[in-house]
Structures are given as C-alpha cells and as structure tokens.
Chain A
Amino acid sequence: MSASKPKLAMYWAASCGGCEIALANIDEVLLEVDHHFDFMFCPCLLDTKTKDIEALPDGDIFLTLFNGALRTEENKEMAELLRRKSKVFVAFGACAATGGIPALANQHGLQHLLDTVFLNAPSVENAARLIPQPICHVTDGELALPAFLPRVLAVHEAVSVDYTMPGCPPEPEQIIAVIRHVASGAPLPPLGTWLGCSSRAVCSECPREKRGVLAARLLRPYEGIPETGWCLVEQGFACLGPATRGGCHALCPTANMPCTGCYGALDATADPGASALTALAAAVDPGKLAGKGEEDLHRRIKHALSGVADPLGTFYRYSLAATVLAERKPEVEQ
C-alpha cells in the first residue's frame, strides 16, 4: 500500500535536530502526513539506511526536506544523493537555506576550530592532545570519519535547490501549510520560491507599537528591560525584525525577545547583514553632529553601536554562508 503513496524524506546535515522537532510539533497533522505520504527516510526518526536510498531509482522520492548546513564531505554527499533521488528538493530551515549557526564557524580556519574544541576550550582536558583524524588506524583495521569541507556551505551552494523554507526552525503551521499544499496536488509555485514565509518583514506581523522615536544607543539585552508593547528597535534593542522575512508571526518580539533574523533577509539579492545593520543604524539618534569633525562622528558611532558586542554574530547569525563575506579565506585573515 505504501508504494502507491508519494515518498517523503527528511534529512539532517550539520544541524541541531530542531527542524525534526519542528516537524514533530505539527502534532496530529502527522497522521495526515502518514495518510498522504510514505514517510520513508528520516535518520532522526526512522531506521532507513543510506544504502536503501542509494538503491532507489533517481527521482523516486517525491519530496525531501533537507535541513542543516554542509559541514562535512558526508553532508555534501547526502545532499547530492537526495537531490538525485528527489523530485522536489527543499532546503529546510535556516542552516540549509543560508548556513545558519554552523556557518558562523566560517569566521575561523579549520585548525583553529579543532584546536578550540579539542584543546583550548576551558572545559576540555586533553593531555594527550588527541584531535580527530579523517583516517584512524586501530588494531582491527582502519576507521574513517568524514572530512571537513573547507568551509560550511548553504545547501544551494552544493546542489540545486527547488524551494527554500527558512526559519530556525520553520514554524509548525508553516510546515503544515506547505505539506497540505503539496498533498493537495495543487500546482507548485515557481522554482526558487521561498516557502512558508512572508514577503514582508517581521515588523508587519509584530504587535508592538512604533512611536517614531530614535534610540539613544543600541543596548545589549542585559542592559534594559523592554517596555511592553513598544517597538524593541526604538528602545535600542538589536531586534532584526525590520530586516527579516516574516512568517513567524513575530513570535520572538511578541515575547519580549529581539528578533535574531532566523527567517533570513528580505531582499534576496542584497547583503543580509548589511540590511540589518542599516536598519539598526537608522534607529539610533545621530545627535547634533552638524559641523562636527570626523573624530566626533566616530566617537558617536562607536558609542551608538557599543550595544552590539558581536556584530558578525548579530547581523549574520544565520546567513554567513550566503553573503558576500562567505568566500573570505579565514587562514589568510588570521
């Protein structure tokens, strides 16, 4: 019976498992999924093996939701495999879409990453200074680990992606809407479309009130308690709502948490961090600088931005693999 239903696969590459939880969060709609699809591959939930996928004819899977960024050779191979085997291949979640949190590692060289994690982190005790190797010889033979890619990739950088569903993770109701649409047999949107999100920024969904005032400076989260009901940006919090796709119903700002930008930038062709930075820069009162020198300007800007301790991690938190900065060579920079 299951053979007559279209196949549905979900895979995790460099990811945290949150996307799978988001799928589980659709609750009883999972029954609908089961009714419409043969949910046949999901390493988090099911015991299907890679060799089972390899055995399928090309294009046999109807829909693959591929989450996670590409950190290792294995991630890339799985992306290529599932792409080949799928009719509709969706980059699912922020990491698959634009690199997400794993792509923040692109700020550093591979050696630096390994040293930090296995040698230098305060909680690590590694007297033998052991660092994982792609090939390891043991008495019973040879063990292999997938090697790192030179940098973390968004999925579309390795394989062609039909659709992108952003979010960290994508909201359950958006997942439901997408699955129901696909199950209904209705025509699919043009290739390349971002699904499960809005064409307008989070602000359009945010219930907080704009008062048209400028913030004295940007604040770090611990520096203030947000006033209920008033726009976080205007209060100086680095809320990325103005520069982030909606579709989440402003979940975080509604709960007093500044938007961190997980649904990605709006203008797909603009630099995501730059648009977030301009939005916040414009929210800060420039003060009376007419006629003042460059030094005063710099001091003022420094003061205004002192609330952003980690600019790259703030403005490119989910997007570092998909920006103009992506190809920067960390070793050279270091």
Chain B
Amino acid sequence: MSSRARTAVILCTCSGIIAERIDWEKVQKLLAGHPTRPVFRVDQLACGADNLEQLETWLKEEKPERVVVAACSPRDHEATFRRLLIGAGINPYFLQMVNVREQVAWVTADPVQATAKSARLLSAALDRVQRQEPLVARKVPLRTEVAIIGAGPAGMQAALTLARAGRKVTLIEKEPFIGGLPVRYEELFPNLECGPCLLEPVMGELLHGHESEYVDLLTLAEVTAVKGTFGNWTLTVKQRPRFINPDLCIGCMACAAVCPEHRPHAWNAAGELAAVDAPFAGALPNFPHIDPAVCLKLKGEECNACLVECPVEGSLAFDDTARQITIEVGAIIVATGALEKQDVPAAFAGLADVHTGYSFERLLAMNGPTGGEILKADGTPPQSVAIVHCAGSLDTNEISYCSGTCCRAALKYAHITAAKVAGVELTRLVREQVVPGLDADSQLHHDHSAVSRYSGLGALSVDGVGAERRIVCQDNGQSIAAEMIVLMRPVVPGAGTSKIAEVLELDTNAGGFLAQLHSLSASCASNMKGIYLAGTSRGPGDIREAFSSGTAAAGLALSELVDGRDLVVDPQVAVVDVMRCSGCGTCLQVCPYKAISWNARDRIADVADILCRGCGTCVAACPSGAITGQGFSRAMLRAEIGGVLS
C-alpha cells in the first residue's frame, strides 16, 4: 500500500453480542503487522451516547485521517459514526464500516473462524479506507407541493388534509368528474348512509371551501411521464379537452336536454348519455362534458342544438384543445383506485338481467338508470334475485384472494332489495362469508335471504329463462330462483393503477396493486421515497379505509416535506469522466432513476446527482469504465477484495 493514512479502528462488542464470537484481542494481534499500522480501541457499545462523546475525544487526540468501525450493519449506525467523524473534524466519508455483527457474529458459530473472518474483513476495510476520498454532501431546497393522482375519497381526503396545512396540491383525475366510485352509490354499508350525501361536503370543500385556493383540480387529466426524485418531481400531465368553459358554464344542463346524439352510458353501465352531458345528477364539478367521438359539431357536421339553447354565451368551447401541463412537486400521492373485475364468467355471459356489483349499485341509485327502482331490462321488477358471493374470488383459476368488501356489499344489496321489491325471493350463494367490523354484524343478523353454499363457479350453471330461470348448484343439487342475478366479482386494480405503476415505475404485488413499503407498518408508502399510496390502489378496501389512508398519506407527505428543510444530496453518486465517455448511451438505458441524460452538445452522458441514488448500475454497465461510483470506486473495491484475499 503506497498511501498510508493514519487509521483508527473502533472495535465494538455490541454489549457482548459480538464478543461472544469474536476475540478482539486476537484480531488486534493478527492485524498488528498490517502496513497501515492502525490504532485500535475496543468499545462495549460504540454507538451509545456516552461512548460517542468519549470516542470523539479519543479521535481528537489520536488525530487519525481514516476511521474503520467494526460493529453492526451500516444500515444501523453508519450515519451515527459519520456524525462522529464530523464532530471530530474528519471528513465523514473517510469512514468504513465492517459489519461484524450480522455478517460474522450472528452467522459464524465457531469463535476461531469468526475471529479469523473478522480479521480478514478488517484487513479489507483498512486497505479500502486508504483509497477513500473526502466527499461533501450538497444541499438542495425541496418542494413542498404535492400532486395527488385520483380524486376518489382517498385522493380528495389527502388533498383536503394537505390544503388545510396550507400546502399547494394538484389533484389529477382522469374522469371528467370527481368522487370516485362511492359517489355513485346510493347507500353505504353498514349504516346505509347516502354516498353522495357523505361525499358532497368533501367535494364542496375541495371545490369552493376555504382551502380550495390551495387545490388545483385537473379533470380529464392523466400523468404521462415523471422525472425526478423525492423532493423534486416533475410530472407531465396530459389533459383532454372538456369543450366547456368552466368560468362561464352555470351547469344548467340545458345543452344535454337538446343534444341529438347519444353515447353508451359508461357510468351507469346501462342506458345512454347525450354527447354533451354529465353522467348523473349531482356530478361535480357541475359542468357537462362533450365526447368528441360522438358530438356532431366536433365531428365536423352541422349541428348547433346546444349552442342555441345555452343561456351563457361562450360556455360551450368547441375550440378547446388537449393541453400538456408540467407540474413540479415534492411528493406524489397515488390514489388511483380499484374496480370490480369487468368480465362476466362463462356460465353467466350473455344472459339478460345479470348484474355486477357496480351495475347493481347504479340500479339502486336514485340518479341511476332506473331512478333507484330494481327493474329488469323489460322494466318490471324481478320475482327472484340471486346474489353470488365470491364470483371469481378465492379461486386459484381466477383471483386467489378475498376482496374483503363484497360480502358487505352483498348483505347491503339483499337488505335493500328486500325492502324495495315486495315478496321477492332472495338467495345468497356463498363460498365464504366475511363481515368483520364492530358495526357490521347487524346487517348479517337482520338478513332474511336464503343462503346456499357452493364450492366454486364451476359448480354453477344457469337453466331456463325469465321468471323460470334458476341457478343449479352441482354441489348440493339445489336449484335457486334467479330471475335477476348479481355477481359479486373480485376487486382488481383500476386501469389507472396499472398505468401509473408503469409511468412511476412503482413495483406491483401479485394482485397487480401497488406494492407497499411494508404491508403492516408502512402501508401508505411505496418503495420509492416521495411517492405515497392511498385508497384501493394498495388493495381492495372500503370507503372507510379510503378516508383513513388518504389522511395517512397526507401525513407522510407533511412529515417528510417540511418547509425550509433542505434535501441533502448524498455525494455517493455516479460521476462521469468526460474525457473517457464515448457517448455510447449504455448508461442511459440502465438507470432505474432516470438520473442520466444525454448531453447533446458534448455527446456524452450527464448524471444529475439529485436524481442519482448511487445504485452503481451504470458504473457496472459502462463499457468504457468512464463512470465512477463515488465512495465505491474500482480502486476501493479492488483494495477491499485484495485485503480479504491477503
């Protein structure tokens, strides 16, 4: 070793845990002849507050240029010992930790071997630390604005929570209207509260309340690209045109009444909607929206029906165009929701009066296709209704998990159906029944429907038509009256959820929902710092969880993005040697954080330190060896390997 900086070695016993296996006296003897001539010190608990004070004094006396700490994982106390070095006036990156607790004491049972192994690892660290270079952390201001993707209950709650704290929020919703799914549900489990009534005040506050000035709502908008990292995200949002001027339109819907063209009513899963219309009474924001694929005028044909009727000139904006908006924020909350699996199982496909949970909810809603009446397609009430639980859930061939919400909805449907259709014959076909919760039992106890247990969708077949139609169950030979059928389909990630996972490069779990940092202790955090999760983007859940997780995600954003607190950029990042970079572009493709950009002027790669996470992927990939991972240079790694093998 040519350069021999004076090196201090701190050997920790971790209150005896490490010393049980490793003989520090022996290690010191083994390393006595090491060319770096280190000075040793054994500490019972190096990280202890009192001990750190003593260590600081010791380091100030010994005046080493490099420090090696043999203790626990750097994940535990690297930061602690970096601070120690700063206190002692040594550059914090002149530290090398040797993880002798997890990687030696806990895994090497034989004390002789453990001691020898520790000596080798220390020898490696001593060689490596000589090659280490002083690095300086850079501070950059971080943004405190937050983007929230999805304006269902979870997203709205997160937006309001942040707005109440004075945070600027951009709420991005792909639909023309906000409120998510429950705003379309007439009554909510378990107490049959009115969904729109529950959400109306929330939406009102968001749109017109005291805090609304902090909230920028973008409907018909989707995030198409993202760049950046915690504290400094740049989102590209594409907003489709609504063709309505929100500053002028009064929401009278006179246009909808006269519009000659109609489109399928996707929001009701039944019936039709005018080309210019709102999907249901009370949809917010209170403006219609024009479907350009259906509107005659936008298709270039002659039609002025709505223009003639509109009382406020200029409200209808046929020259509206798509916009691309760039939003800069410090954090992103994803609340893109879930939906019921859309396809209908083979045994029920193509049959009349077969509903999914969602279409049945709309049937129950006063602002739905039947004004809240439970009617068949022919306009008459059914004599019998069969509700099939677990229709596709708990099924290894389809969806293996239990959504946990459909039993509650099914009980609610049974209750409301019994009340609305006098004399109806009601059967619930169940595989399992899940109704947890303090206030959920009353629905179960008051349920009067017949219950039939079945083993799986494969055991069910449908026989007959109309009032004679029956579901036949192979398992028990029962034949169940089923003039109307409601299939409780599994809850799966919404289209927006899979899309945003791709755009934000978020991990997904086996079900396709967004992966949580920890499913128990960090369920509202994603794997990426600065991106938080709320609502059913994380997995099936009800409105209660949507509200609470919205609050939780906002709390995480508030606690991690504090006004005036800078973001410290770790100097352990990739650096490009401009004299050796050939501009081959290999690194641009492999960077998982989009930290590397193309410098067209010099035809080389540029690494943005603020985006770089120091993962080293580009360092390994660079075929010219032109990228160095600061703190992990080739020289350091080779010295370390050499030290282990010496």
- Taking Cβ atoms with an 8 Å cutoff, the residues of A that contact B are 199-204, 210, 212, 214, 231, 233, 241-243, 246, 265-267, 269-270, 275-276, 278-279, 281-283, 290-291
Contacts and interface: CB of A to CB of B under 8 A. Distances in A.
A241 B584 contact: yes
Contact of A203 (B509, B582, B620): B582
Interface in B612-642: 620-626, 634, 638
The CB with the most chain B CB atoms within 10 A, among A212, A233, A241, A290, is that of A290
Nearest to A272: B623
B584 A242 contact: yes
Contacts of A243: 623-624
A204 B582 CA distance: 5
Given A201-B582, A246-B582, A270-B634, 14 more contacts: A199-B579, A199-B580, A200-B581, A200-B582, A204-B581, A204-B582, A212-B588, A212-B598, A231-B585, A267-B624, A267-B625, A275-B622, A278-B586, A282-B590
B88 to A, nearest CB: 35
B508 A291 contact: yes
29 contacts: A200-B579, A200-B582, A201-B582, A201-B623, A201-B624, A202-B582, A203-B583, A204-B581, A204-B582, A204-B583, A204-B603, A212-B589, A231-B585, A242-B582, A242-B585, A242-B623, A246-B582, A265-B623, A266-B625, A269-B634, A269-B638, A270-B634, A275-B624, A278-B620, A279-B586, A279-B621, A282-B621, A283-B589, A291-B510
Contacts of A269: 625, 634, 638
B625 A290 contact: no
A282 B588 CA distance: 9
B585 A275 contact: no
The 5 A-B pairs with the shortest beta carbon distances in the complex, nearest first, are A267-B625, A201-B582, A243-B623, A242-B584, A279-B623
B570 interface: no
Contacts of A267: 624-625, 634
Given A214-B589, A278-B586, A290-B507, A270 B625 contact: yes
Contacts of B507: 290-291
A275 B634 CA distance: 14
A297 to B, nearest CB: 16
A275 B625 contact: yes
A269 B628 CA distance: 14
Nearest to B603: A204
Contacts of A202: 582
Contacts of B587: 282
B203 to A, nearest CB: 35
A266 B589 contact: no
Nearest to A270: B625
Contact of B508 (A246, A270, A276, A290): A290
A210 B625 contact: no
Chain B: interface size category? 20 to 34
Contacts of A210: 583, 585, 598
Contacts of A233: 584
Contacts of B589: 212, 214, 282-283
A283 B583 CA distance: 14
A204 B510 CA distance: 44
Interface in B59-113: none
A204 B605 CA distance: 12
B47 to A, nearest CB: 37
A231 B588 CA distance: 15
Contacts of B509: 291
Contacts of A265: 623
A203 B623 CA distance: 11
Interface string B556-596: 00000000000000000000000111111111111000000
Interface of B: 507-510, 579-590, 598, 603, 620-626, 634, 638
Contacts of B634: 267, 269-270
A282 B510 contact: no
Contacts of A212: 585, 588-589, 598
The CB with the most chain B CB atoms within 10 A, among A265, A270, A282, is that of A282
A250 to B, nearest CB: 10
Contacts of B580: 199-200, 266
The CB with the most chain B CB atoms within 10 A, among A199, A201, A231, A270, is that of A201
The CB with the most chain A CB atoms within 10 A, among B508, B579, B582, B625, is that of B582
Contacts of A283: 586, 589
B598 A266 contact: no
Given A241-B584, A246-B582, A290-B508, A266 B624 contact: yes
B585 A200 contact: no
Contacts of B638: 269
Nearest to B501: A290
Contacts of B579: 199-200
Contacts of A241: 584
A267 B507 CA distance: 35
A283 B622 CA distance: 12
A242 B590 CA distance: 14
Nearest to A204: B582
Contact of B621 (A203, A204, A278): A278
Nearest to A214: B589
A278 B625 CA distance: 11
A275 B638 CA distance: 17
A273 B566 CA distance: 44
B581 to A, nearest CB: 7
A46 B119 CA distance: 61
B603 to A, nearest CB: 7
A290 B592 CA distance: 13
Contacts of A199: 579-580
A246 B581 CA distance: 11
A214 B589 CA distance: 8
A233 B579 CA distance: 22
Nearest to B578: A200
B623 A278 contact: yes
A200 B602 CA distance: 13
Contact of B623 (A214, A231, A276, A291): A276
Contacts of A242: 582, 584-586, 623-624
A201 B510 contact: no
Contacts of B584: 201, 203, 233, 241-242, 279
A177 B534 CA distance: 66
A278 B581 CA distance: 16
A246 B626 CA distance: 14
A194 to B, nearest CB: 13
Contacts of A279: 584, 586, 621, 623
Nearest to A198: B582
A233 B589 CA distance: 12
A200 B625 CA distance: 10
Nearest to B509: A291
A324 to B, nearest CB: 13
Nearest to B635: A269
Given A200-B624, A267-B625, A282 B582 contact: no
Contacts of A204: 581-583, 603
B639 to A, nearest CB: 13
A272 to B, nearest CB: 9
Contacts of B621: 278-279, 281-282
A283 B621 CA distance: 10
A65 B589 CA distance: 41
A281 B580 CA distance: 21
Nearest to A266: B624
B174 to A, nearest CB: 22
A72 to B, nearest CB: 34
A279 B581 CA distance: 13
Contacts of B620: 278
Nearest to A233: B584
Nearest to A268: B625
A291 B626 CA distance: 32
A167 B587 CA distance: 26
B131 to A, nearest CB: 14
Nearest to A234: B585
A118 B566 CA distance: 74
Contacts of B626: 266
